Amino acid sequence: MKRFHVSLLVITAIFMAVTPTFLKNYGIHLFTTWLIYMIAIMGLNLTVGYAGQKSLGHAAFFGIGAYTVAILMKAGISFWIGLPIGALLCFVIGLGLGFPALRVQTIYLAFATLGFNAAVWLVMRNEEWLTGGTYGINNIMRPEFFGMSLDRNLPYYYMVLVITVVLALLLGGLLRSPWGKAFKALRDNPIRAESLGVDTRSYTLLAFAIGSGFAGIAGGLFAAQVGFIDPAPFAVHYSIMMYLMVVVGGPGYFFGPVIGAAVGVILPEWLRFAQAWYLTVFGFAVVALMIWLPDGLLSIPDRIRARRQSKAASAARAASAKRIGEAS
Amino acid sequence: MSVNQATLAVHNLAKSYGAIQAVKGVSFEVQPGEIFGVIGPNGSGKTTLFNAMLGQIQPDRGQIELRGQDVSGLSALALNHRGVGRTFQTLQVFGKMTVRENLIVAAQEHKGTLFSRIFAPSDSGLGDKADALIQKFHIAHVADKPAGELSYGQQKLVDIAMAFMSDPALILLDEPCAGVNPKLVRDIGDLLRDLNKERGSTFVVIEHNMDFIMSLCHRVMVMVEGEILAIGTPDEIRNNKQVLDAYLGS
């Protein structure tokens, strides 16, 4: 990670650490949800923003993580064992799905993953013996951390914050490693990447599976946060919403998920004044963003820099042309 | 292996598209350290031959050997790992990565295994090598800029430099002078000559710029209508009546 990124991560972490102490219970709950979606979107950003794959099945992995933790906890297994199992299961299913699905690209991959999401959602709804069907699974307990209760919202929030920072650092390390360069290479130009020895198939698969693992962790944290899960938050339109969060934040930008998840989780709260018009306002805001900032909100500094460079280059060309004109 | 084993040997390679025979059973060899040019009018089968040699298309018949080993039908990825580097006719740099990152990613997959690379340093230990090539190609002043922000000529140099990063046994250059100004054409020629002398690199070059190819290559192959019309030194090709009639003109 660049020093700038580390500084920004520290500032963001301090902001996230201090702000909830001034919030009421609902505000803390909202911030926890923001963090949980941040983790899920970090994973999707790896798949979409860094590796360039179109996935519309992320909510399914979010759900698999949530149900795995909930089912294991109901079976008496600790949250701290259930959470990594949920992540690992999502990683393995991501590999299993990716192997055939990643043979296709772009919109076809999007549809393949969307179909997967629909199938997983049906399993969650119909397999009552396992998932509780539409009644879901309730009374999911919050975990303890070395004997410290996380039942109250604030301690649970801090636990999620620590996990988020650790995962962000791990992701930063991954992106800084040769894997990160390989991901970007296959996103920018897969044919050239392959001609340089980059095994595009393996890297694509790994990006997809790691992204799924992040969703699994987020899902597990979500289950323990809300204490009740049913299939609703894992339906296809939530995958589309998650994709939107990546795009709005800025695909391929490390801090994109912070902004994207805020738009998906916090912005609806700010738009409550609009009441029934909320979705209309939100929809138009997204349309405007896609027209003027197709690379997301975090692309604004890059666009300003590119515009400045373009102006400087034009001025240099004009000055050079003038000099040549005067000399001749 | 014999001492004089060819770096590249193509035997009876053929490829058709429907009724059109793009390449009609061509055979030739490229020796170690040789710069081998391929010329011919549009539609003569050069690109099809190149694509078949590089694993981008499957030939109908024929065999391709790299340093005595049969590599027919291997993918571009497998060929790269066996020592084949290439450039494309159009620019193919990774626009959002810096020049230095472009060069590093061009060789990092040749170090360690897929899983060991996750723990490797960011530059895979290739930083010095990349810097040396950046100096050689006179692009040090833009080394930390995103490649996509460079001029066309600078991107062309990055593109060619990337092909050298993994020290391939054979480098195939597809129209390295396309869209390049005359000064840069000379610079590219000088760079390729230097690299050929210093490293003993073997090249196959497709190019329409006759001055460039005749001054650079040790031998030149002329293709017309999917067949080899002639193979020889630049002087032999210039004086070959068949070649003059079919391609070079008077």
**Does residue B250 surpass a pLDDT of 70?**
no
CB contact under 8 A, A176 and B122: yes
Look-up of token digits 């902001």: A15
**Distance (Å) of CA A313 to CA A310, B103, B150:** 5, 26, 12
Q: What is the pLDDT of residues A296-315, one digit of tens each?
A: 888 888 888 888 877 887 88
pTM for the model stands at 0.89
Among A170, A179, A181, the strongest candidate for a mutation testing the B interface, having the largest count of B CBs within 10 A, is A181
Closest residue in B to A309 (Cα–Cα): B149
Whether the Cβ atoms of residue B96 and residue B105 lie closer than 8 Å to each other: no
Q: Do B77 and A177 touch (CB under 8 A)?
A: no
Pick the more confident residue, A320 or A117.
A117
Torsion B173-B177-B180-B185 (CA) sign = positive
Least CA distance to A177: which residue of chain B?
B122
User: What does pLDDT average to over chain A?
Assistant: 91
Averaged pLDDT, B134-162? 94
Look at B149 and A309 and tell me if their CB atoms are within 8 Å.
yes
- pLDDT for res A32: 97
* pLDDT at position A13: 84
Decide if domain B1-83+169-181+200-250 falls under CATH 3.40.50.300.
yes
- The residues that bridge with B35 in the sheet, in sequence order, are B203
Q: Do B80 and A185 touch (CB under 8 A)?
A: no
The DSSP symbol for A148 reads E
3-state SS track over chain B: CCCCCCCEEEEEEEEEECCEEEEEEEEEEECCCCEEEEECCCCCCHHHHHHHHCCCCCCCEEEEEECCEECCCCCHHHHHHCCEEECCCCCCCCCCCEHHHHHHHCCHHHCCCCCHHHHCCCCCCCHHHHHHHHHHCCCHHHCCCEHHHCCHHHHHHHHHHHHHCCCCCEEEEECCCCCCCHHHHHHHHHHHHHHHHHHCCEEEEECCCHHHHHHHCCEEEEEECCEEEEEECHHHHHCCHHHHHHHHCC
d(CA A52, CA A184): 8
Could you tell me the two tokens for B239? 């004086």
- The per-residue pLDDT for A1 is 55
Band (pLDDT 50/70/90 cuts) for residue B246 is confident
Please tell me the distance in Å from B118's CA to the nearest CA on chain A.
Answer: 6
Task: Give CA–CA dist B72/B62, Å, rounded.
Answer: 8
CA B208 → CA A135, B37, B41, B218, distances in Å?
71, 10, 8, 16
**Cβ count within 10 A of residue A95:** 17
The ranges of chain B annotated as CATH 3.40.50.300 are 1-83+169-181+200-250
Mean pLDDT, range A219-230, rounded to an integer = 97
Residue B223's DSSP bridge partners are B228
Rounded to 10 degrees, the C-alpha dihedral A20/A22/A27/A28 comes to 30
List the single best residue of B122, B154, B166, B173 to mutate versus A (max A Cβ within 10 A): B122
Eight-class DSSP state of A50:
I
Interface size A-B, in CB pairs within 8 Å, comes to 87
Chain A hits for B106, Cβ within 8 Å: 196
Please state, in angstroms and rounded to a whole number, the distance separating the CA atoms of residues A207 and A210: 5
Judge whether residue A162 has pLDDT over 50. yes
Q: So what's the pLDDT on residue A301? A: 85
Which of A1, A2, A175, A196 to probe the B interface (max B CBs under 10 A)? A196
> What φ, ψ does residue A281 adopt, rounded to 5°?
-60, -45
ipTM above 0.85, yes or no: yes
Chain segment A41-94, per-residue pLDDT in tens: 999 999 999 999 999 999 999 999 999 999 999 999 999 999 999 999 999 999
Q: What is the pLDDT of residue B4?
A: 61
In angstroms, rounded to a whole number, what is the distance separating the alpha carbons of residues A187 and B232?
42
